[in-house]
Amino acid sequence: MAIKNILTVSELTRRLKSLLETSFTDLTVEGEISNFKRHSSGHIYFTLKDGNAQLQSVLWRGRAAHLLFTPQDGMKVIAKGSITVYEPRGQYQLDVVSLQPLGIGDLQMAFEKLKQKLSEEGLFDQEFKKSLPEYPSKIGIVTSPTGAALQDILNILNRRFPALEVLLYPVKVQGEGAASEIAQAIKDFNKHYDVDLIIVGRGGGSLEDLWAFNEEIVARAIFASKIPVVSAVGHEIDFTISDFVADLRAPTPSAAAELIVRDRDDIIDNIRNYCYTMEQNIRSIFDNRKEKISSLLLSYSFNQPKDLLRQYSQRIDELERYLDQFVDHNISIQNEKLTSLSKRIASLNPKSVLQRGFTIIYRNGKIIDRAIKLHQEDDVIIKFHDDDKPARIS
């Protein structure tokens, strides 16, 4: 006798597959991660579960690369995806398209929690902040080689202070694995490369995009760094854990480049002021000596060995002639340079620097370029782009 409707296992499975895969698409599932495994192929396998049931889940390598955080067992998540059936094992599974920590506030909460923990440990304490070199010559950058942040930093460094060697350590700046790459880069710089400072950062993005810079592993690497670290993540309004633990927080990657080096035109002005001061000083040194000799010649002319004084006087005249030549020569060189410099300066509007929020501080009409030159109770003038304001140092 013939039994009807006999199905092979394959046939049944195929029917189930087609039924399930057409009925259960575009799902959003909430659950807790367990048995999290990353296969060497890059695919991620885990189980989503709640109190009563389990669901096998898979996140293929291509999508795993876009994960914004590091999933762990026990983490509550929302998974989006569709049901697929794996015929060889007769198993259905959730083919995950995207994975997010549960609840909008979860990332924010994780952020606050870590911030508090590290703060209590003292990782943000001012006493651990290293000062940055005034004129760095070699800097390290930890960022994406293709991101806008790198270009922004390089453009500004090239314009402001190009006497630099820059070592780029390319890393992923978002998604699964980004945090450990960033942390490793900081460690590698400390171990192998003698740079004066490290900029760690990326351009703007959502809280999720910036998440790598909120991970503990990055914070610990920054704290452990013997080399000063500048954190330059996102926009002005974005604060990350990296910002708190770094030796200096820059509001943006561009700002980091502005903060770590002084503008070359300012430095050149500074140097020219030094030259002027040196010239004034050496002139007055000469004048003093000459006066002294004249008075000596007058007062002791009767009983002092005149010859010696005359010799000395002659020597001074000689040196002065030499100095005159040297200074004249030097001035003509400076003037040549000045012409080309002033052409360059004309193409830049110095006011624009002030308009960007920078100020100049004067004391007795002289520019104060270093904090150390200011003392308590000093009266200063702060020059803004629109007006000057008097102030007193507290």
Partner 1 sequence: MKKQKSDEGSFEANMKRLENIVETLESSNIPLDESIALYEEGIKVSKYCIDKLRSSEIKLKQLKKDIDGKLELFDVDTEE
In the complex, which residues of this chain contact partner 1 (CB under 8 A)? Answer: 133-137, 145, 154, 157-158, 161-170, 188, 192, 194, 226-227, 264, 267-268, 271-272, 274-275, 277-279, 281-282, 285-286, 289, 316, 319, 322-323, 326, 330, 333, 337
Rounded to a whole number of angstroms, the minimum distance from the CB of residue 188 to partner 1 is 6
Place of tokens 């895969």: 21
Burial 296-329 (b: 16+ CB within 10 A, else e): beeeeeeeeeeeebeeebeeeeeebeeeeeebee
Q: Which is nearer to partner 1, 48 or 261 (CB)?
A: 261
> Half-sphere exposure of residue 321, counting CA atoms within 13 Å on the CB side?
5
Dist. CA 77–CA 84, nearest whole Å: 20
Rounding to the nearest 10 degrees, give the CA dihedral for residues 62, 65, 68, 73: 90
CA angle (20, 22, 23) in 5-degree steps:
65
β 379-383/366-367 pair status: unpaired
Dist. CA 220–CA 182, nearest whole Å: 11
Q: Which is nearer to partner 1, 111 or 169 (CB)?
A: 169
Rounded to a whole number of angstroms, the minimum distance from the CB of residue 164 to partner 1 is 5
Q: Which is nearer to partner 1, 207 or 259 (CB)?
A: 259
User: CA-CA distances (angstroms) from residue 7 to 3, 14, 129, 236, 327?
Assistant: 10, 11, 72, 65, 105
Q: Which is nearer to partner 1, 321 or 351 (CB)?
A: 321
Q: Which is nearer to partner 1, 155 or 206 (CB)?
A: 155
Dist. CA 173–CA 181, nearest whole Å: 8
Q: Which is nearer to partner 1, 121 or 318 (CB)?
A: 318
Q: Which is nearer to partner 1, 178 or 241 (CB)?
A: 178
| Residues forming a β-bridge with 31 | 77
Rounded to a whole number of angstroms, the minimum distance from the CB of residue 45 to partner 1 is 26
Rounded to a whole number of angstroms, the minimum distance from the CB of residue 301 to partner 1 is 22
Chain CA centroid to CA 195, Å: 14
Using N-to-C axis directions, what is the helix angle for 216-224 and 105-121, rounded to 10°? 30
Chain CA centroid to CA 192, Å: 20
Rounded to a whole number of angstroms, the minimum distance from the CB of residue 246 to partner 1 is 17
Q: Which is nearer to partner 1, 104 or 285 (CB)?
A: 285
